[in-house]
Structure 1
């Protein structure tokens, strides 16, 4: 059986990826604070396996416990495992010197620590069981340039890119069958974009630019981006450690 473990699968890109993988006959394991009941219904209609695990990625102990349980379940009969570390937070949107320390800690935990912990757990299991595991860490163009008010988001996404590249190098050296990549989805019409547009110009200098994206219809739908990611993952030519950009795939 093929499994796909998706964080942040209750909405946005995560939900769209889950929907597409279900149509491919892949057993989806959704991980989020809240369940998307439409996924459960879609799985039933497609006759595909589906499970949901409640987890707040902002808490280290929850991540360790929940994903240890998921890994034990999945690797019992898996022929291939996909892991999509999609969940992320943009807050705090604020200039350095005005940052909320609790929001900083949550951002680092959700955007960086949790994906690393999840990758580590699944790569350990993959090595022990010799099950091919493909990991995609969802990143951002913000990883590659400084953006006013996004110092923490830019930093965590840059760090996840470097982790991905390094882990990919290590898998290649070990001649592993497993792969790890990063995927930059571009600007999408999601709740994160709504959060960005609700910030202040003092905290985020590019506020008007992002409002214009919405007004001019420049935001891609999560379904289009999900299609590009799923096609990439199910292909046979993934390059270990590479940061793939949606603009190069569509």
Structure 2
């Protein structure tokens, strides 16, 4: 049986991914601070294995403890495949360098970069002792390859995630492993993150009006559309390990 582990599964893209996977008869382990009852109910109706774990991804020790437990739970079931979605992310702090506060800077790097590295490392380590195929999907951003004033920390953490993805994939290829790791840029979606961006100030974020316009003109992608495109692509078996995929490539 296939299992999926999804961080940030309580809302936005993570929620949409979880719901689509359940429709595909894939067991789901959700990881977020709060549980999404709709996902739980949907899995129950489909008769699928579902488990929720609460975890603060900004806390290194908590990440290690929770994901050790998750990995133990899943691998003892001898799954054929594990889909690992490192989806959780934060954009704060939104501000110019010279005005950044230390705490949100550290939290951003912990959630956006360090947690995915630790989680991926753990699952690939466990998989070495089994026949289970692991496919890692790191949710990145166009900001990883484009400098945006006010987003220095977010741009940097996502750029780091891209490089980690590419390097880990290179290592797996050298080992002649079947495991795959990709990055996926979902585009500009109608999520809580966009609300956070729109609530910032012009002094902190020069492109504020442009992002407000995305909402006003209904130019934001719906999370379920993005999730459906991603899952359909993953299930096709055509993904190239180490590649950074853009949502526009999958919607063609």
Q: Which interval holds the TM-score relative to the shorter structure?
A: over 0.9
Contact kept? 2:80, 2:131, Cα under 8 Å: no
Q: TM-score, normalised by structure 1?
A: 0.99
Structure 1 match to 2:97: 96
CA distance in 1, matches of 2:230, 2:56: 24
> What residue in structure 2 maps to residue 26 of structure 1?
26
Q: CA deviation at 1:130?
A: 2.6
State the match for 1:200 in structure 2: 201
Runs of 4+ deviating beyond 4 Å: none
Supply the distance in 2 between the matched residues of 1:89 and 1:145 (Cα, whole angstroms): 17
Alpha-carbon RMSD across the aligned residues, in angstroms, is: 0.6
Number of residue pairs aligned between Structure 1 and Structure 2: 250
Distance in 2, matches of 1:14 and 1:138, equals 10
The Cα of 1:56 is off from its aligned counterpart by: 0.5
- Cα distance in structure 2, aligned partners of 1:118 and 1:246: 24
> 2 CA distance for matches of 1:48 and 1:16?
17
> Partner residue of 1:12?
12
Q: Which runs of 5+ in 1 are unaligned?
A: none
Report what 2:169 is aligned to: 168
Match of 2:49 in 1: 49
Task: Name the SS for the 1:244 alignment partner.
Answer: strand
- Cα distance per residue 1:171-198 (max 9 Å; x no partner): 1111111100000000000000000000
Write the distance in 2 (CA, Å) between the matches of 1:231 and 1:242.
17
Q: Flag structure 2 segments of 5+ consecutive residues without an equivalent.
A: none
Kept in 2: contact 1:134–1:233 (CA 8 A): no
Task: Report 1:1-250 matches (<5 A).
Answer: 1-76=1-76, 77-250=78-251
Please give the per-residue CA displacement for 1:98-117, whole angstroms capped at 9, x wherever unaligned: 00100000000000000000
- CA–CA separation in structure 2 for the residues paired with 1:240 and 1:206: 33
The structural deviation recorded for 1:156 is 0.2
